[in-house]
Structure 1
C-alpha cells in the first residue's frame, strides 16, 4: 500500500471524536495526516467540543480536549496532498469564511481527489460551491445548506455513510466505521487481517 498524504481542515470547537478518531485511525493504517487550522501553526492547538445524542431535539455540546495541530495552515499547498478530511462540530461554520480554506476545498474537488466530510463538514463543501449535482449527507441540520448549494440530500441512519464519486459523507461520529471504510477504499488502502 502506498502511503497517502491527507489534509485535515480543523478549527476551534471541531467535534472531538470527529477529529481525533480519524486522525489516529488514518495514521494507524499508514497514512500521513496533517491537521491544520487557519490562523494557527503546528504545535498550537484547537479546542474541541463533544457532541452527544441524549434524546433532545438536537445534539448536546460539552467542552472537549485540546487537539494539537501538526501542520501550519499558511504553509500548506493543497497540491501536495492526496485527499481531504473535514470533521464536523462548530469549526466548519467559521473556517468557511476564509477564502484560502475554500480555495483548498475547491482544489480537491476539481482535481477529483478523495474528500470525506462528516457532520457539519458539509457546510464547508457548500460554502466552497462544490456540491452542485452531488449526492451527500451530513448532520440533518445542514440539509438545507446542501440543497441550497445544489446538492441532493441522501437520507442515512446516524451510523451510515454515502459515497458519490470521490466524495464520502456521513451524519456524525457514530458513522466512523462506515465512512472510514468507504474513504479507505477510495484511497486504495487494503487492510490485511
Structure 2
C-alpha cells in the first residue's frame, strides 16, 4: 500500500465521531493525515458535538471532546494532498463560508482525487458547486441542498454509503464501517488480515 497524504477538514461543533473515528482510522492504517480548521493553527483545539439519534424528529446534540489540530490551515495547498475528507456536524454550515475551503473542495473534485464527506459535510460540496450530475447522499435534511445543487440525492439507511467515482458519502456516523471502507477502497488502501 502506498501511503497517502490526506487533508482532513473539521471545525468547532463538528460531529465528534465523524471527526475522531475517521481521523484515527486513517492514521492507524498508515496514512499521513493533516487535521485542519480555518482560522486555527497546529496545536489549537476545536470543540466537538455528539449528535445522537434518540427517537426525536431530528438528532439531539450533546457536548463532545476537544480535538487537537495537527496542522495549520494557512499552510494547506490542495496540490500537496492525495485526498480530502470532511467531517459533518454543525461545522460545515460555517466552514462553507470560507473562500479557501470552497477552493479546496473544487480542487479535489475537479482533479478527481478521492473525496469523502459525511452527514452535513456535504454542505461544503454543494456550496462549492461540485455535485452537479453526481450521485451522493447526506444527512436527510441536507438532501434538498444536494438536489438544488444539481446532484442526485440518494436516500439510504444511515448505516450505508454511496460511491460515485472518486466521491464517497454517507448520511451519518452509523455508516462509518461502510463509508470508511469505501474511502479506503477509493484510496487504493489494502489491509492484510
Q: Give the TM-score band, short-chain normalised.
A: over 0.9
What do residues 96-153 of structure 1 show as CA deviations (whole Å, max 9, x unaligned)? 0001110011000010000000000110000011000001001000001001110001
Deviation of 1:11 (Å): 1.0
Residue 174 of structure 2 corresponds to: 174
CA distance in 2, matches of 1:2, 1:104: 23
Residue 187 of structure 2 corresponds to: 187
CA distance in 2, matches of 1:70, 1:142: 29
TM-score (norm 2): 0.99
Deviation of 1:6 (Å): 0.4
CA distance in 2, matches of 1:75, 1:183: 25
What do residues 24-59 of structure 1 show as CA deviations (whole Å, max 9, x unaligned)? 001111101111000000000100000000000000
Tell me whether 1:154 sits opposite 2:161 in the alignment: no
Give structure 1 regions of 4+ aligned residues with deviation exceeding 2 angstroms: none
Residue 103 of structure 1 corresponds to: 103
Residue 143 of structure 2 corresponds to: 143
Gaps spanning 5+ residues in structure 1: where?
none
CA distance in 2, matches of 1:180, 1:163: 11
Residue 121 of structure 1 corresponds to: 121
TM-score (norm 1): 0.99
Residue 28 of structure 1 corresponds to: 28
Residue 64 of structure 1 corresponds to: 64
CA distance in 1, matches of 2:25, 2:189: 12
Describe the SS at the equivalent of 2:51.
strand
Superposed CA RMSD in Å reads 0.5
Number of matched residues? 193
Residue 80 of structure 2 corresponds to: 80
